[in-house]
Structure 1
Amino acid sequence: MEQLINYLLQFGQLNQKQIDLIETRASEKLLSKNEYFSEAWKIARQIAFVQEGVLMICYYNNKGEETVHHFICEDHFVVDLESFNHKILSMIYIRAVTDCRLITFTFEDWQELSTTIIDWNAIINKITIKTLLDKVHMVQPMVMLDGKTKYLNFLKNFPNLANRIPLIYLASYLGITPTSLSRIRRNIR
C-alpha cells in the first residue's frame, strides 16, 4: 500500500486521515499470468494500481487477431477509463502478461474517495494527463519508424520490460511479425 500512497503523493497532498480512507477502500488482488483483469463487451468494474507485474491492453482486429495496444507495469494505474467512468461496454481486454499484484478499487469506492477527499479529483486528473502525454510521446514517433528503430526505441524507453514480455506480444505492440522481431533481435546483438 505504501507504494500506491507514495505514487499519489507525487501528484498532490494527502493527510493521514485521507490516506487511511484510501487504505480502507483498497483491496489487494493477485492476477495470474494470462488472466484477464477486464474483458471486452463487459463493463469495467475496477481500477487497479500495479504493484508488481506487467499487463497488456489489447483488442481483436477485424481479422480476429489479437493486437497489443500497450503495456502497463509497476507504479501505474490500469483501467478502461471510459467503460469504468460511464458504465459502458469496454472495447478492450486487459490481461496479465506476468503474474501481477494489484491494488484495486471498485467504482463505488473510487467515487467515495472522489467525494470525500477534497483534492482527489485534482490528483487523479494530474495522473491521467501524465499518462496520456506519456502515451502520446510513446506512440507518435513509432508511426513512421521501421521495425528495428521501433524495437531499439522500446529498449531505450522500457529497458525493464523487454525480457518480461513474450516475443509475440512485443511484436504485436511494435506492429511487426514475430519472425521480423526475431531477426531484428539477432542482428543487433
Structure 2
Amino acid sequence: MTNFDQLFHVLKSYCDIPNEELDRIKGLFYSCKLKKGELFVRSGNMTHTIGFILSGLLRYFYIDRNGAESTKAFAAENDFAVSYGSMLLNQPSAFSIEALEDTTLLYIHYSEWKKLLDSTSCWNVVARKVMEKIYVIKQIRESQLLLEDAQSRYLHFIDQYPGLYNRLKQHHIASYLGILPVSLSRIRKKIRES
C-alpha cells in the first residue's frame, strides 16, 4: 500500500470520493518525517498544516506556567494531527504536538484544504465527519476527567488506545490520565492483583 493509498483508504471511509478528487489531492499533500522528540506543532507558534500519520506516534500536550506537562491526546497511524483551533482563529497554538517515535506524515497546507472544501461537497462531508469524530472523543475525555476516578480513566484509556499501551512511557500515560506516575503504578498493581 502506498502512502496515498493509506490516506485514500481513510478518506473513503468517511464518504464516497470520486477518483478524480483523490488524484487531485496528490499534488496538495507533502511528505514529512519527524524524528522522535521533534515537534509537528509548537505551542505559541502559528500553525498552517494538517497532518495525516502514515507511521509513528504523536502526543498533544500543554505546558503550564511552572513547566509541567499535561498530555491532551495521542495520535497514531491513520489519525490526523492538527491544531485546528489555531488555524480557525488565526492564533498561536495553545499546545504542542510531539513525535514519541520516528513518524512519517503527509501534510496539507490549511489554505489548500480550505480551497478543497469550497470546491466539492465530498470534502465538506469528510471534514464534517473528521470534526464529529474529534468532538466525540473530546467530549468523552472531558466527562471521564470530570466524573470518573483514576482507575476508571485508566481502563477507558486501555480500551480507547489498545495498540498504544506498549508504545507509550508510563509518565505519558499518567499525564494523560491527570495523575502522577506513582499513582498509575498503584492502579496497575491493584488491577493485576484483582
TM-score by length of 1: 0.92
Q: Mind listing any 5+ residue stretches in structure 1 that lack a counterpart?
A: none
- For residue 63 of structure 1, what is the aligned residue in structure 2? 66
Shift of 1:7: 1.1
Distance 1:17 1:158 in 2: 34
- Partner of 1:29, secondary structure, is strand
Distance 1:164 1:143 in 2: 26
Shift of 1:73: 1.7
Cα deviation 1:143-177 (Å, max 9, x = unaligned): 23222222122112211111111111111110110
1:78 aligned partner, one-letter code:
A
- For residue 72 of structure 1, what is the aligned residue in structure 2? 75
**Which shifted more, 68-77 or 179-188?**
179-188
Q: Is 1:98 matched up with 2:97?
A: no
Q: Mind listing any 5+ residue stretches in structure 2 that lack a counterpart?
A: none
Identity of aligned residues (%): 30
Number of equivalent positions: 189
Shift of 1:135: 2.3
- For residue 175 of structure 1, what is the aligned residue in structure 2? 178
2:87 aligned partner, one-letter code:
F
Distance 2:98 2:74 in 1: 10
Shift of 1:59: 0.8
Shift of 1:142: 3.5
Shift of 1:70: 1.2
Of 169, 180, 194, 1:166 maps to: 169
CA RMSD of aligned residues (A): 1.6
TM-score by length of 2: 0.90
Distance 1:166 1:53 in 2: 14
Shift of 1:134: 2.3
User: Within 5 Å, which residues of 2 pair with 1:139-154?
Assistant: 139-154=142-157
Distance 1:112 1:38 in 2: 22
- Partner of 2:14, secondary structure, is coil
Cα deviation 1:9-34 (Å, max 9, x = unaligned): 12222111100111111111111111
1:36 aligned partner, one-letter code:
L
1:155 aligned partner, one-letter code:
I
Distance 2:145 2:70 in 1: 15
1:22 aligned partner, one-letter code:
I
Distance 1:176 1:95 in 2: 20
Distance 2:169 2:36 in 1: 11
Distance 1:78 1:168 in 2: 22
